[in-house]
Amino acid sequence: MNEGSGNQLQDVDVEEENAALFDKIIKLLKRSDRKKNAEVIMLIGRIGAGKSALINTIQKVLTGEYYPIAQMGSGKAQSVTLDLERHDNCGISLEHLEDEDRRHTKIKEIFPKLPHIVDCAGLGDVDSPQLREILELLIGGFIPPDTNIGSLEKQQKENGVGCLSKLFPTANPAWMVTKVVFMQSCRDQIPKNLIECLTGILKITDYYTCKRKYTPEVFLLLTKYDLVEGHTVHFSNTNDEGSMTLEEFGIFEDNIAQEFNIVGALKANRIRWASYSDRIQGDNQYIENIALKFLKRMVQPGPPSHKPSKPVVGVSTTIQLFIFRIGNKLKRFFLQDVHLNISPALVVLLIVFAVVIAMLYKLLSVKPEVKT
């Protein structure tokens, strides 16, 4: 229960803001200029970051009832295996929307446009070529939603990394990830390997256009904000073991944000998050407020630079580039790979010398005509 929200006036203000936020979300989802396909939000973060709790919280905020649609864990286990969990339309089913008093009618109207949430569950602090390949194909929209990740990993084991790109050569815009939300508990260490894995994929550039290949908007979501001391009167008094001060939280936030700077996760894309959990149950307007603001960010149009760029390359350019590439490869082979360590000028001299010798040889070997 919300034990600490003593200030009634503030509660009323937040409630009003939440009602306005809800209407705004519905409006955004109804916009005629919206893309045809629903947003695809990928949640990534190590085990225990609070991904399942976020899905359950969003579901509760939209339906008014808490259904634990995503299984929450203790957050203690260490794993390296990706276990994909897909929650279409924010994990809501139409059976959850039968109460007319609870905004259900409004949600029913925009139901097909509710974002799909893909939870990259089961991950530890890892970076491997295998994981990179699978995540890249998922972000790019190459892998159909109902594909079993276990069988993809089996394919990789049997045929090596790279085989999946051949197996799924075509992207489907409806499956493309539009928002990546990296989730990090303020109580855990920064998972540098996992961040490296994700940012490595987001930095891949298209060979022809020299632009980023994958352009989802990236968000950094710091979870368990309710465990921060001091300001959290809205949640409850925090005296749990391992809680941190607001100042420590700020430093932690800056440190992890630095790891993401290169992929454009700007200051504006940092979100302080708290979920319904064992500590906070029942109705809490502050949790709802955080979740509604998050949902609004998820469904509003991103900055123009995040629109995916499609390479447009003609046949002649492709041939020119191919010849250029072969030429470069040959040059590199002769000058470096064979380790001759000779300068280009010397190569030219040697060629000229060889031509001169060949001409002399031809001249000398011409037999004089014998007159009879």
Where do contacts with Mg ion occur on this chain (CB under 5 A)?
A: 51-52, 121
Q: 122: exposed, middle or buried (C-beta count within 10 Å: 0-12, 13-18, 19+)? A: middle
Query: Strands 116-121, 83-87: parallel, antiparallel or unpaired by DSSP?
Result: antiparallel
Nearer to Mg ion, 69 or 121 (CB): 121
The least CB distance from residue 292 to ligand GDP, in Å, is 16
Nearer to Mg ion, 117 or 263 (CB): 117
Residue 288 touches which member of ligand GDP, Mg ion, none, C-beta under 5-8 Å by kind = none
What is the Cα–Cα distance from 81 to 149, expressed in whole angstroms? Answer: 9
Inter-residue contact 274 to 280 (CB < 8 Å):
yes
The least CB distance from residue 347 to ligand GDP, in Å, is 59
Nearer to Mg ion, 25 or 44 (CB): 44
Strand ranges (E), the chain? 40-44, 83-87, 116-121, 179-185, 217-223, 270-272
Q: Which residue is nearest to ligand GDP (CB)?
A: 50
Residue 224 touches which member of ligand GDP, Mg ion, none, C-beta under 5-8 Å by kind = ligand GDP
Residue 48 touches which member of ligand GDP, Mg ion, none, C-beta under 5-8 Å by kind = ligand GDP
The least CB distance from residue 127 to ligand GDP, in Å, is 18
The DSSP line for 5-53 is ---HHHHHHHHHHHHHHHHHHHHHHH-TTS-SSPPEEEEE--TTSSHHH
The structure tokens 């394919």 sit at 155
Nearer to ligand GDP, 18 or 275 (CB): 275
Please provide residue 255's backbone torsions phi and psi, each rounded to the nearest 5 degrees: -60, -45
Residue 275 touches which member of ligand GDP, Mg ion, none, C-beta under 5-8 Å by kind = ligand GDP
Residue 145 touches which member of Mg ion, ligand GDP, none, C-beta under 5-8 Å by kind = none
The least CB distance from residue 62 to Mg ion, in Å, is 19
Nearer to Mg ion, 123 or 139 (CB): 123
The least CB distance from residue 315 to ligand GDP, in Å, is 47
Helices (H) and strands (E) counted in the chain, each on its own, are 11, 6
What is the Cα–Cα distance from 134 to 178, expressed in whole angstroms? Answer: 17
